[in-house]
Amino acid sequence: MTHTSRTSLVLKIAAFVMVALFVIVLQPFSMHIFPYHYEEGKMWIYKTLTAEFDFPVYKSDERLAAEREKALQDYAPCFQTVGTASSMIIISAEDMEKVKQGGYDHIAVVNRRHVSTDIPVEKVYTPKTAYLVEKREMTPTLVYDSLTSERVYRNILESVSPTEGAVMAGETIIEHGELISNEDFLVLASLERAYRDRGLDRERLLYIQCAYAILIALVILLLAGYLFIFRKPLWEELRAILFFCLLIGMVAGAALLILRFASPELVYIVPFVWIPILVRVFYDSRTAFVIHLTTVMLVSFSVPNPYIFLILQLSAGMVAVDLLKDITRRSQLAIAAFYVTLVYCVVYTLTLLLVSGDFSQVNGWMYCYFLINGILLVVVYSLIFLFERLFRLVSSITLVELSNINSDLMQDFARVAPGTFQHSLQVSSLASDAAKCIGAKALLVRAGALYHDIGKMVHPAWYTENQAEGNNPLLQMSNREAAQAVISHIVDGETIARKHSLPEIIVTFIRSHHGTSLVRYFYNSEINRLRKSALPENLITSSDYRYPGPKPSTKEAAILMMADAIEARSRSMDNYSEQSISDMVDEMIGLQIQDGQLAETLLSFHDLERVKQSFKERLLAIHHHRIQYPSIGGK
């Protein structure tokens, strides 16, 4: 293992460890204080539960609110006497407005000995109404006593007990398999409250933390194993690992922060579907779903109802992956956001009905959270461009833009090297069709094919497709010089691509579309010259006639190499019969296989046969026989 590969491996391991630690640190362990999940009307699936300690049973919120409201019916705002004694009871207009707004029918006048007297509101005047009676200016005789009023109000509320009875230690709370009634639900809720008031003891907290850490480590390890076994190219790509870890940390972190500091239901605002969308845009569907599943599992250990959470998130993720195989238009995101929101709403409703069998258990706020989630999904469009710049990735949207032949660079290409431009268009068509046949990235191949020969813009006259009849400057050079001149379009193409800030993957296509193959025309010509002159063939250095490479390492790059060679060879054919085209395709690909140019790709024999068939059908369609039009008066 080289120093670079060791460093890369260390960084990958560090990235996964950082994600695991980040999730563990943000874990809201308070969610695990009460180790049971229960719902009214559902079966108690745990063993028979017995009280470990005494605890009170709390009334339901609805009942406690009703009892307090009833107790407050006798409450009246308190006033104190001020000013000179008067036969009339007068308060300020502002205080009278507060009394009327509160709906009180009487007020309480408290004297110095804290004895209160109830006065009906109809016997209370304001300075204005008192003036109409006495025909003289009147001042308030009572003033609102906020402290006494607040104390009386609080005492009334505290007089209503929040509890009703108690459960003693050793008493059976609920038996295994028993349906949870409303009374059982209140007892269980009271027990959970007692657990939270008591808190976690250090030993139990340590067990929970250790179990959680091991589970998180296992989930992360499973993800790493998937990449290492099934997606080896992605495992070897450091930026891919960093990209995946950043996505997981970003989404899982947001969810865990909400669970820790806000209402647990708000976790459904977090756009978990960002992950499958972003991963699918840059990589493949299976990896997108696996990383989505990993993130959902990391968070599911902390949500109140993991069953519903998992069903919802996995359903939404599957829909997103299916709808967004290739994002080429912004409208696709809006459509996907609509369907994801719809799936959230439908699956939530059906799952809750399956669990409870009661529409009243449906929480209307959940639909608002799903709507907000759907709106946030549209924001992912801007994140695509952010991650493209940050990790030097290429999305389908960018590939569509690169495939626009009306761009300034493509127009210059068509003007300076028209023959090569037409060749590139044909190669693009051949390669993208072949890519579709084997499930490779057709859009990527199309873009790569358009730019693969862009280096020929520097010296267009050196290449036969741009030459006038009988005018070939390369024939004035030695075979070695001519070969080097042809090879130079690789370096020139890379220079032009970087000058125009083309993505790195396009540069890779430019560098690898000939691999390390020979410039056979001039190599063979030099061999023949040496033989004719009776000189030994070892005078020729084959490396002088080979392209610098690298060899193609992806299916897409291999398809481009084959399409480029076949399209160029097809231009020199005299006969375009089905048999001649088939023989030519088999010969050209066979030479590349013999030369080891396809050895580093993941193409199977089955893939090669399907690619060959695609080339043959496409070339036959292009060069099919056309009828000869008769001339007027001719034979």
Instruction: Select from 454, 448, 450 the least CA-distant residue to 417.
Output: 454
230 vs 207: which has the higher pLDDT: 230
What is the rounded average pLDDT of the residues 3-21? Answer: 91
Distance, CA of 554 to CA of 441 (rounded, Å): 10
Q: Tell me if 126 sits within 8 A of 92, measured CB to CB.
A: yes
Residue 635: band (very low, low, confident or very high) from pLDDT cuts 50, 70, 90: very low
Reported as a single tens digit per residue, the pLDDT across 298-338 is: 999 888 788 889 999 999 999 998 887 666 676 788 899 99
235 versus 622: the higher-pLDDT residue is 235
**155, two tokens:** 């005492």
Comparing 86 with 400, the larger pLDDT belongs to: 400
Query: pTM for the complete prediction?
Result: 0.70
Instruction: Say yes or no to pLDDT of 205 above 80.
Output: no
Q: Is the pLDDT of residue 12 over 90?
A: yes
Question: Averaged over 268-276, what is the pLDDT?
Answer: 95
**Preceding omega of 550 cis (within 30 degrees of 0):** yes
How far apart are alpha carbons 475 and 517 in whole angstroms? Answer: 21
Q: How far apart are CA 247 and CA 376, in angstroms?
A: 15
End-to-end CA distance of the chain: 77
| pLDDT interval class at 84 (50, 70, 90) | low
Region 249-274: what's the mean pLDDT?
93
Asked if 466 and 420 count as a contact pair (C-beta separation under 8 A), the reply is yes
Residue bearing tokens 């996964």: 16
Q: Does 41 score more than 80 pLDDT?
A: no
Over range 69-95, report the average pLDDT: 86
Q: What's the mean pLDDT in 31-59?
A: 82
Task: Please say whether the beta carbons of 148 and 75 come within 8 A.
Answer: no
Name the percent of the chain lying above pLDDT 90: 58
For 481-538, the pLDDT digits (tens) are 999 999 999 999 999 999 999 999 999 999 999 999 999 889 889 889 888 887 777 7
Other CB atoms within 10 Å distance of the CB of residue 436: 15
CB 572 within 8 A of CB 463: no
Amino acid at 100: K
- Enter the DSSP assignment of 468: P
The average pLDDT across 340-347 equals: 95
pLDDT for 457:
95
Q: What is the spatial distance between Cα 157 and Cα 154, in angstroms, rounded to a whole number?
A: 5
Coil vs helix vs strand at 79: strand
- The amino acid that residue 547 corresponds to is Y
- Letter string b/e over residues 509-531, b meaning 16 or more CB atoms within 10 A of that residue's CB: bbbbbbbebbbeebbebbeeebe
Residue 86 has pLDDT above 80, yes or no: no
Query: Nearest-5° angle of CA 189, CA 194, CA 199?
Result: 125
What does the pLDDT average to over 192-213?
79
Higher pLDDT among residues 279 and 43, named by residue: 279
624: pLDDT confidence band, cut at 50, 70 and 90?
low
Please state which of the ranges 101-105, 169-173, 175-179, 330-334 shows the lowest mean pLDDT.
Answer: 330-334
pLDDT digit string, tens, across residues 354-407: 876 667 777 889 999 999 999 998 888 888 888 988 888 888 888 888 999 999
Q: Which two tokens stand for residue 229?
A: 């076994």
CA distance 614 to 268: 46
| CA 253 – CA 248 distance, rounded (Å) | 8
Residue 573 pLDDT level (bands cut at 50, 70, 90): confident
Q: What is the mean pLDDT of residues 434-438?
A: 94
Reported as type and span, the H/E element at residue 172 is strand 172-174
Strand 78-81 with 106-110, pairing: parallel
What value, to the nearest 5°, has the Cα angle with vertex 219 and ends 215 and 223? 165
Q: What is the mean pLDDT of residues 198-227?
A: 86
Tell me which of 424 and 439 has the higher pLDDT: 424
Q: How many other CB atoms sit within 10 Å of the CB of residue 197?
A: 9
Rounded to a whole number of angstroms, the CA Rg of the chain reads: 40
How high is the pLDDT of residue 384?
Answer: 87
Q: Which residue has the higher pLDDT, 230 or 4?
A: 230
pLDDT of residue 172: 92
Could you write out the DSSP letters of every residue in 377-430?
A: HHTHHHHHHHHHHHHT---HHHHHHHT-TTSHHHHHHHHH-HHHHHHHHHHHHH
How confident is the model at residue 220, as a pLDDT?
Answer: 96
Q: How far apart are CA 530 and CA 285, in angstroms?
A: 55
Per-residue pLDDT reduced to its tens digit, 96-131: 999 998 889 999 998 877 888 899 999 999 999 988
Taken in order 387, 384, 269, 212, the sign of the CA dihedral is: negative
- The residues near 573 (Cβ < 8 Å, ≥ 6 apart) are 580, 581, 584, 623
Q: What is the pLDDT, as a whole number, of residue 243? A: 96
Q: How many CA atoms lie less than 13 Å away from 332 in the CB half-sphere? A: 17
pLDDT at 235 over 70: yes
CA 145 remoteness from chain centre:
58
Name the band, by pLDDT with cuts 50, 70 and 90, for residue 416.
very high
CA distances from 558 to 152, 312, 554 (A): 85, 40, 6
d(CA 275, CA 298): 14
Q: What is residue 538's predicted lDDT score, i.e. its pLDDT?
A: 74
For residue 582, give the amino acid letter.
S
Burial of residue 580 (CB within 10 Å: 0-12, 13-18, 19+) is: middle
pLDDT value for 283: 87
* pLDDT recorded at residue 589: 94
Alpha carbons 531 and 536: distance in angstroms, whole number: 7
Which residue, chain included where needed, has tokens 């695990």? 32
Handedness of CA 430, 436, 442, 445 (dihedral sign): negative
User: What does each C-alpha distance from 459 to 150, 488, 500 come to in angstroms?
Assistant: 92, 9, 18
What pLDDT, on the 0 to 100 scale, is given for residue 628?
61
Summarize the confidence of residues 538-559 as an average pLDDT: 90
